[in-house]
Amino acid sequence: MERFRMKLLIGTEKVFRRSGRFFSLAVILWIIMSITLTACFPKRGRAEPYSASFFAMDTYMTFTVYDDDAKAAKEALQQAQEEIEALEALWSVTDEDSDIYALNHSGGQPVTVRDETAGLLSFAVKMAQETDGALEPTLYPVLTAWGFTTEGNRIPAAEEIERLLECVGYDRVKVEGSHVTLEDGMMLDLGSVGKGYAGDRAEQILIERGINSALLDIGGNIQAVGARPDGSDWRAGRSQMAVTGNWDCAVLSGKEYSGHCRSPIKRSSLLGITSVILLVRTVSAMVISLIRRRDIP
């Protein structure tokens, strides 16, 4: 019996020794496999910038996304650009196939428009009401007279402007579902709200494609998506004005410009009814837009 116990003890000791060797061997093999797999499947690198520049909505746009997947980044940029171009086709004042062109040449008859057009137009009318007409979507006849939308830039006479103002009035735009009625002689231009909506749509597409950091330059309107690649706040400013933040927001800058008219008078792109006659004073504004796409029907 004693001899049997001795053999059992020696056998158990051998098993533990062998188990110890097996455990050590397993650890070594695990380390080798980890190194091999890391070499075959390296970790994703740091986010790199990828940009796309194009001309749309009568302005130059540059979209920059930050990602560690070049293919995914370029595909997201392409889809965002295509969305901008599709919206431009809906709201262009010169494209004969657009909803806005059809409305501007409807002769006072109802026009059936796409849902996005009806929603944006309703939003524009609402903003016109809240700003007491400072944002006026029916100002296009006056803009045309000044040459803002054509190459025939000039300074119209006060009498001409007064006559054209008779065709201006957001409260005379009727939106009933997808049916819109514009009085004969009136004309729409959704540029004041169209670029903001387009920026929101581009942002939504980028997020859906997995982009977590991007900066959209929409003709001077800067829209941030997420935080900067390193997680720090975005910083945007003009002159002595600056804002920081790591939230999704837009910085809309009303630009002063000259050279479009052979006159010492500078004109502002923020043109309202109260300033269409006397345009000596220049206007510059910076607005932080925290109104998201949910505010547009």
261 and 143 co-located in one domain: yes
pLDDT digits (tens, 9 = 90+) for 240-257: 444 455 455 555 554 444
Residues 165 and 284 in one domain: yes
Q: Model confidence over 208-244: pLDDT tens digits?
A: 999 999 999 988 788 889 888 888 887 765 544 444 5
| pLDDT, averaged across the chain | 75
What pLDDT does residue 137 have? Answer: 92
Q: Do residues 124 and 223 both lie within one domain?
A: yes
pLDDT at position 20, please? 52
Residue with the larger pLDDT of the pair 274 and 45: 45
Query: In terms of domains, do 79 and 4 share one?
Result: no
91 and 3 together in one domain: no
pLDDT for position 49? 95
Q: Residue 32: which pLDDT band, with cuts at 50, 70 and 90?
A: low
Percentage of residues in the chain having pLDDT higher than 70: 63
Q: Check pLDDT > 90 for residue 14.
A: no
Q: CA–CA separation, 277 vs 157, rounded Å?
A: 9
Residue 48 has pLDDT above 80, yes or no: yes
pLDDT band for position 79 (cuts 50, 70, 90): very high
pLDDT recorded at residue 1:
53
Question: Which domain, by its residues, includes 281?
Answer: 48-295
> Quick check: 142 pLDDT over 70?
yes
Residue 134 and residue 276: Cα distance in Å, rounded?
Answer: 11
Q: Tell me, what's the pLDDT at 237?
A: 58
Calculate what percentage of the chain has a pLDDT beyond 90: 42
Same domain, 252 and 137: yes
Mark whether 17 and 76 lie in a shared domain: no
Asked if 5 and 143 sit in the same domain, the reply is no
Report for 18-22, 151-155, 193-197: range of highest mean pLDDT: 193-197
Same domain, 27 and 56: no
- Greater model confidence, 76 or 19: 76
Q: Considering its fold, how many domains does the chain have in total?
A: 2
61 and 16 fall within a common domain = no
Could you tell me if 68 and 35 lie in one domain? no
Between 178 and 134, whose confidence is greater? 178
Q: Are residues 34 and 126 in the same domain?
A: no
> Which CATH number does the domain housing residue 186 bear?
3.10.520.10
Q: Look-up: residue for tokens 């004309």?
A: 187
Question: Which of 15-19, 98-102, 131-135 has the least mean pLDDT?
Answer: 15-19
Backbone angles phi, psi at 220, to 5 degrees: 100, -20
Residue 34 pLDDT: 55
